[in-house]
Amino acid sequence: MSFQIPRGTQDILPEQAAKWQYIEQIARELCRRYNYQEIRTPIFEHTELFLRGVGDTTDIVQKEMYTFEDRGKRSLTLRPEGTAAVVRAFVEKKMFGLANQPVKLFYMGPMFRYERPQAGRFRQFVQFGIEALGSNDPAIDAEVIALAMNLYKEMGLKKLKLIINSLGDKDSRNTHREALVNHFKPRITEFCHDCQNRLEKNPLRILDCKQDHEHELMKSAPAILEFLNDFSKTYFEKLQQYLRQLDIPFEVDANLVRGLDYYNHTAFEIMSNAEGFGAITTLCGGGRYNGLAEELGGPETPGIGFALSIERFIAALKAEEIELEINAGIDCYLAYLGEEAKDYTVGLLQQLRLAGFSAERDYLNRKIKAQFKAADRLNAKYVAVLGDEELKNNKINVKNMATGEQVEIELALFIKQFQALQE
Ligand code: HAM
């Protein structure tokens, strides 16, 4: 019997994994500079968290969750996204009481959605995300957007498009909601079953419907921007002012509603407009979610964040033909010639590794020529050759593979001299 990987998942083999690590490392470094600290939450949570947090009229909750009952008959769900869990932890661990506010967090890890797999859409994917909780200053909205943009730019991506929108505060949303209901109600029977359900519960979701997006009422639907009250309008203008100040080009798209229910005020997405990127062009999505902490039993706390998947990040790099400068290869390959030398390299190899070098040796009893070939395949910077003869004379031969230069080193001084060769 043979097994295949589940649909919508992928194995990240070592060569790919090096790319992942590289991106993750740059993301961590950016978080350090922007002062976001890592938080790690469980892979599964109580299902109720996502019903409340993400919203029970969203596609994620209605169609895409991996929900199961555990042996204690609790309903648990593999996390489809990170924000609900981070805010749950923020409330549960009373992080609102910390001295340093706002609380600025980042996370990186697998998320699960039962979606139809296609290019750029997986059932298990890795999100890198940040959340800033406790500030209502539009400057932090700009900071969150800037961090995402700078991460992409730092990796060399150029064909990016940032779109922003404002969903307004509660009051603005309520008046907009009413206008939407009035707009769709007379002809709601022409819409899909989901949209008919959404009409009363959450009419904003209708605008995000994949099935009915060609319907004429969609284009003429009242846009939220026309319903922003003064506070929401000023907030949105201030954000735009800061983005200009940071030299971040953007477009306002009144149709951007996002697929999760917790958003208000700022909503944004970063898309790739590289040729050949494929149908799904959104690289990153985020926005403000004032009220979510309250919804999850905490005090009123403003919050904003984004998430992006590493899978789409890598797809964008590929579409723009960007090769990452990944330092592959090992520092030293230890080749042997003769039985005694072979035994001796076991200890020598350990010395190299303890001194901080990446080092390898043959484990397949290969002839010296084949050992050199193996060293080549491993992209070794140096090959150190120890023969029985050298061992007797307390010497070892070190060859620089780039220049071809060779030096003979006293065996007792090998590690020290090898270190000196690097300078
Ligand atoms: P989201 O728009 O659902 O937002 O997902 C954010 C990003 O995750 C997307 O832009 C995309 O890069 C990636 N993504 C989503 N689904 C898939 C998939 N099936 N396969 C590959 N990549 C995918 C959120 O998840 C919010 N929690 C973002 C947020 C954080 N808002 C505020 N804070």
The pLDDT value recorded for residue 207 is 87
Range list of H helices, 214-338: 216-219, 230-245, 292-295, 310-319
Report how far apart, in Å, the C-alpha atoms of 155 and of each of 25, 96, 126, 140, 236 are: 11, 34, 18, 23, 29
The pLDDT value recorded for residue 201 is 87
What would the DSSP string read from start to end of 122-186?
-SEEEEEEEEEES---HHHHHHHHHHHHHHHHHTT---EEEEEEE---HHHHHHHHHHHHHHHGG
Distance 111 CA to ligand 1 centre (A): 9
User: Which atom of ligand 1 is least distant from the CA of 270?
Assistant: 10
For residue 149, give both structure tokens: 């943009």
The pLDDT value recorded for residue 281 is 86
The pLDDT value recorded for residue 341 is 97
Across the beta sheet with 395-400, the strand order is 359-361, 332-337, 382-387, 395-400, 406-410
CB 338 within 8 A of CB 387: yes
Residue ranges around ligand 1 (CB below 6 Å): 81-83, 113, 115, 120-122, 125, 127, 129, 131, 259-260, 282-287, 289, 305-309, 311-312
Identify the residue whose C-alpha is closest to ligand 1 atom 22: 309
Chain centre to alpha carbon of residue 329: 26
- 409 forms bridges with which residues in the sheet? 396
The pLDDT value recorded for residue 257 is 86
The pLDDT value recorded for residue 213 is 86
Distance 128 CA to ligand 1 centre (A): 9
The pLDDT value recorded for residue 1 is 85
Per-10-residue mean pLDDT of the chain, 423 residues long, equals 95 94 97 98 98 91 96 98 98 97 98 95 98 98 98 96 96 93 93 90 87 89 94 98 98 90 95 86 96 97 98 95 88 97 97 97 98 97 96 96 96 95 87
The pLDDT value recorded for residue 328 is 81
